[in-house]
């Protein structure tokens, strides 16, 4: 038994917080205050995790380990309580802490079932952080499934539009994904007799599986492809985003779909590197379809949230593009994977920010239909500047984090797949098209009569916006801070 405690505290603090909210707190104002306090504390803790990881002297792959071997102590089904971080997961934990805090701080206008709302958000945080820090496959699966329930209720109870339909669609797609993961895990266990994620890659090396290795790879790949999402399994995402409440969209785009990218790299690449190399042509084609197909469809969207949702599909294609570089030389692999992981991080902050701003605009104008908007810069100078910054970050302008992650991915993937990467790069032109067009239609133009009396975001509302903007600019201007961490994680994962 090894116990450091930091990572366990970070993962389970929101769970404890949600229990306290559920059982002890009655008044809404107390609930608001307490939820903010918990997420703020957890943001500090998750920052601390990253800091402690960076400072740690240990030469182990995984650091800050909390391990209790006999959690489920049957000889034939030995599940450990095993948490830890490496350079790949530590920044994602910080991202989760950051975006949950943003989600909680931005939901100040919730009036319906306040208690349950914050319980859901906090549970979600525990689940996602658990996914990023589990080193036992079974524990990983438990957290993966745990995420589903609060998100389902967030859409169904606090959503808008066709919320029942969208929540159910989200539920079914994610359940199928979870079932596939379980199937894969059980096959792996049957072969290796272990759930230990740090050992399985080694155990798999000289084993013949019950069924072909590439088949198991595809089971996991499809499971994560549903969640990422990859075309043609993406159809749940626009609906879920459109109908989720603002905080739900922020969490969904910001961290939930990053779980899939995490799984693709940690499990598909970590366990089945040969299969990834072998099928990289297939992966790169899917990546390019995602990038271009997503961007082209985004052009036709008239609902603000749906527009950003489709743009997420396009941007997740870049993650896949970075993963596809895995069939190249060692340098290409490192570049592509660091780019893909950084893209997950930056997309989380950028798209989280976009959903947050759009949520604010929707709260004030009560419309998300773009043709009905325009000229909002006159009433909302602050949100207008923020949307412009988020927009140019989304289209990969230098100085913002979006540029760094995209250029790293391109440099990794281009030497491996010239032609497909070139098509993917053209996605950048399409992105600037729909982003600038959206900003133009929402913000600029003459002042409209019907929006005469709406107000700008308040100082309080601007705090999460400004924090996200700072994080975007920080990574854009000082990228090596975070790329070095990712690089450590990736190198320790795929070996020297």
Partner 1 sequence: MDQLLWTIFFSPFISFVILFFIFKPFFGKMVRLSSFISIFAIGLSTLLSILILLDLSINQKVITFKPNEFLSVGNLNFGISLILDELTVVMLVVVTSISLLVQIFSIGYMSGDKGYIRYFAFLSLFTTAMLGLVLASNIIQLFIFWELVGLSSYLLIGFWHHKPSAVAAAKKAFIITRIGDFGLLLAILYLFVQKSEFASNSLNPIMIQDIIIAAKEGYLSDFVITIFALGIFTGAIGKSAQFPLHTWLPDAMEGPTPVSALIHAATMVAAGVFLVARFFPVFEASLIAMNTLIVVGGITALFAASIALAMNDIKKVLAYSTISQLGYMMLALGVGGLSAAIFHLFTHAFFKALLFLGAGSISHSTGTFDMNKMGGLRKIMPWTYITFIIGSLSLLGIFPLSGFWSKDEILSASWSSSGIIANIGFYLAFITVFITSFYMFRAIFLTFHGEFQGDISKGDLHESPKVMIIPLCILSVASIFIGFIVNPIISIAFIPSHWFSDFIGHTSGKAHVNIFTNWFVYGATLISFLAILLAYLIYISKNSLFIKVFDKFRFARQILINKYYFDYIYEEVIVKKIFLNGIAKGLNWFDTNIVDRVFGFIGWLSLNIGILLRQMQNGQLQTYGGILSLGIILIMIFFIFF
Question: Is 437 an interacting residue with respect to partner 1 (CB under 8 A)?
Answer: yes
Residue 414 is a binding residue for partner 1 (CB under 8 A): yes
Which residue matches tokens 């290409």? 332
124, 284, 334, 380: which one contacts partner 1 (CB under 8 A)? Answer: 334
Peptide bond into 211 cis (omega under 30): no
- Does 466 bind partner 1 (CB under 8 A)? Our answer is no
Q: Which of 40, 285, 445, 463 binds partner 1 (CB under 8 A)?
A: 445
Among 120, 204, 223, 425, binds partner 1 (CB under 8 A): 425
CA atoms of 325 and 332, how far apart (whole Å): 6
Of 375, 448, 462, 492, the residue at the interface with partner 1 (CB under 8 A) is 375
Window of 67-75, 266-274, 328-336, 452-460 that interacts with partner 1 by CB under 8 A: 328-336
For residue 457, CA distances in Å to 60, 61, 207, 217 come to 47, 45, 59, 47
Distance CA 400, CA 472 (A): 6
**Measuring CA to CA, which residue among 193, 290, 176, 306 is closest to residue 232?**
290
Q: How far is CA 216 from CA 77, 105, 183, 209, 276, in A?
A: 20, 41, 9, 9, 12
216 or 395: CB nearest partner 1: 395
Binding of residue 412 to partner 1 (CB under 8 A): yes
Q: CA-CA distance, 77 to 364, in Å (whole number)?
A: 54
Query: How near is the Cβ of 444 to partner 1 at its closest, in Å?
Result: 4
Under rule CB under 8 A, residue 302 binds partner 1 = no
By C-alpha distance, which of 222, 239, 240 is closest to 231? 222
Stretch 266-295 residues interacting with partner 1 (CB under 8 A): 293
CB of 151 to partner 1, least distance (A): 19
Give the one residue of 311, 335, 343, 351 binding partner 1; rule: CB under 8 A: 335
How many amino acids of this chain bind partner 1 (CB under 8 A)?
Answer: 54
User: Near partner 1 by CB under 8 A, which window of 37-45, 129-137, 255-263, 432-440?
Assistant: 432-440
Print the binding letters for residues 243-262 with partner 1: x by CB under 8 A, - otherwise.
--------------------
**Could you say which of 415, 454, 467, 494 contacts partner 1 (CB under 8 A)?**
415
Q: Is 161 in the site for partner 1 (CB under 8 A)?
A: no
Among 28, 109, 164, 480, binds partner 1 (CB under 8 A): 480
Report the nearest approach of partner 1 to the CB of residue 259 (Å): 21
Q: Among 204, 276, 428, 468, which residue interacts with partner 1 (rule: CB under 8 A)?
A: 428
Q: Does 343 bind partner 1 (CB under 8 A)?
A: no
- Considering only the stretches 55-63, 242-250, 266-274, 326-334, report the one whose residues sit in contact with partner 1 under the rule CB under 8 A: 326-334
Using the rule CB under 8 A, give the single segment among 208-216, 266-274, 278-286, 439-447 that binds partner 1. 439-447
Among 43, 332, 353, 380, binds partner 1 (CB under 8 A): 332
Min. distance of Cβ 18 from partner 1 in angstroms?
32
The answer to whether residue 408 forms part of the interface with partner 1 (CB under 8 A) is yes
Compute the least distance from the CB of residue 430 to partner 1, in Å. 9
Residue with tokens 């590197």: 273
Q: Partners of 2 in the beta sheet? A: 67
Closer CB to partner 1, 58 or 440, in the complex: 440
The least distance separating partner 1 from the CB of residue 403, rounded to whole angstroms, comes to: 7
> For residues 129 and 288, which CB has a smaller minimum distance to partner 1 in the complex?
288
407 binds partner 1 (CB under 8 A): yes
Of 134-142, 148-156, 264-272, 417-425, the segment contacting partner 1 by CB under 8 A is: 417-425
- Tell whether residue 229 is a contact of partner 1 (CB under 8 A): no
Three-state DSSP string of the chain: CEECCHHHHHHHHHHHHHHHHHHCCCCHHHHHHHHHHHHHHHHHHHHHHHHHHHHCCCCCCCEEEEEEEEEEEECCEEEEEEEEECCCCHHHHHHHHHHHHHHHHHCCCCCCCHHHHHHHHHHHHHHHHHHHHECEHHHHHHHHHHHHHHHHHHHHHHCCCCHHHHHHHHHHHHHHHHHHHHHHHHHHHHHHCCCECCCHHHHHHCCCCCCCHHHHHHHHHHHHHHHCCCCCCCCHHHHHHHHCCHHHHHHHHHHHHHHHHHHHHHHHHHHCHHHHHHCHHHHHHHHHHHHHHHHHHHHCCCEHHHHHHHHHHHHHHHHHHHHHHHHCCHHHHHHHHHHHHHHHHHHHHHHHHHHHHHHHHHHHHCCCEHHHCCCHHHCCHHHHHHHHHHHHHHCCCCCCHHHHHHHHHHHHHCCCCHHHHHHHHHHHHHHHHHHHHHHHHHHCCCCCHHHCCCCCCCHHHHHHHHHHHHHHHHHHHCCHHHHHHHHHHHHHHHCC
Shortest CB 186 distance to partner 1, Å? 23
Q: Does 488 bind partner 1 (CB under 8 A)?
A: no
Does 297 help bind partner 1 (rule: CB under 8 A)?
yes
Q: Which residues bind partner 1 (CB under 8 A)?
A: 172, 231-232, 235, 293, 296-297, 299-300, 331-336, 338-339, 375, 377-378, 392, 397-399, 403-404, 407-408, 410-412, 414-415, 418, 421-422, 425-426, 428-429, 432-433, 436-437, 440, 443-447, 479-480, 483, 487
């Amino acid at each position: 038994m090894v116990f450091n405690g930091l990572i366990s505290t970070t993962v389970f603090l929101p769970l404890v917080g949600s229990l306290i909210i559920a059982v002890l707190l009655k008044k809404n104002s107390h609930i608001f205050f307490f939820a903010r306090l918990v997420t703020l504390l957890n943001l500090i803790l998750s920052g601390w995790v990253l800091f402690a990881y960076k400072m740690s002297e240990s030469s182990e792959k995984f650091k800050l380990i909390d391990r209790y071997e006999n959690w489920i102590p049957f000889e034939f089904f030995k599940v450990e309580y095993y948490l830890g971080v490496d350079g790949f997961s530590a920044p994602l934990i910080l991202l989760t802490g950051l975006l949950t805090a943003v989600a909680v701080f931005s939901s100040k206008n919730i009036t319906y079932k306040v208690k349950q709302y914050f319980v859901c958000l906090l549970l979600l945080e525990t689940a996602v952080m658990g996914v990023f820090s589990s080193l036992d496959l079974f524990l990983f699966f438990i957290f993966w499934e745990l995420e589903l329930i609060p998100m389902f209720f967030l859409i169904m109870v606090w959503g808008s539009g066709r919320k029942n339909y969208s929540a159910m669609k989200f539920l079914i797609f994610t359940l199928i994904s979870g079932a596939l993961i379980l199937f894969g895990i059980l096959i792996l266990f049957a072969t290796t007799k272990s759930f230990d994620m740090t050992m399985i890659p080694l155990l798999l090396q000289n084993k013949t599986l019950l069924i072909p290795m590439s088949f198991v790879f595809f089971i996991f790949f499809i499971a994560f492809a549903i969640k990422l999402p990859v075309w043609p399994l993406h159809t749940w995402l626009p609906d879920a985003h459109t109908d989720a409440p603002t905080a739900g969209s922020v969490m969904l785009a910001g961290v939930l779909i990053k779980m899939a990218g995490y799984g693709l790299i940690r499990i598909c690449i970590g366990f089945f590197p040969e299969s990834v190399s072998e099928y990289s042509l297939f992966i790169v084609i899917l990546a390019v379809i995602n990038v271009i197909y997503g961007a082209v469809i985004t052009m036709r969207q008239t609902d603000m949230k749906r527009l950003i949702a489709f743009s997420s599909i396009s941007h997740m294609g870049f993650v896949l593009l970075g993963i596809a570089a895995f069939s190249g030389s060692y340098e290409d692999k490192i570049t592509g994977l660091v780019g893909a992981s950084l893209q997950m991080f930056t997309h989380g902050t950028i798209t989280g920010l976009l959903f947050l701003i759009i949520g604010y605009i929707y709260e004030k104008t009560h419309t998300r239909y773009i043709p009905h908007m325009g000229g909002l810069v006159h009433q909302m100078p602050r949100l207008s500047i923020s949307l412009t910054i988020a927009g140019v970050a989304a289209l990969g302008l230098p100085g913002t984090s979006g540029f760094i992650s995209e250029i790293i991915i391109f440099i990794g993937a281009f030497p491996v797949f010239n032609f497909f990467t070139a098509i993917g790069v053209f996605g950048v032109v399409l992105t600037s098209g729909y982003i600038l067009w959206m900003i133009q239609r929402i913000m600029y133009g003459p002042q409209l009569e019907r929006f005469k009396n709406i107000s700008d975001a308040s100082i309080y509302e601007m705090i999460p916006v400004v924090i996200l903007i700072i994080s975007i600019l920080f990574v854009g201007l000082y990228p090596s801070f975070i790329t070095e961490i990712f690089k450590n994680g990736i190198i320790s994962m795929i070996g020297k």
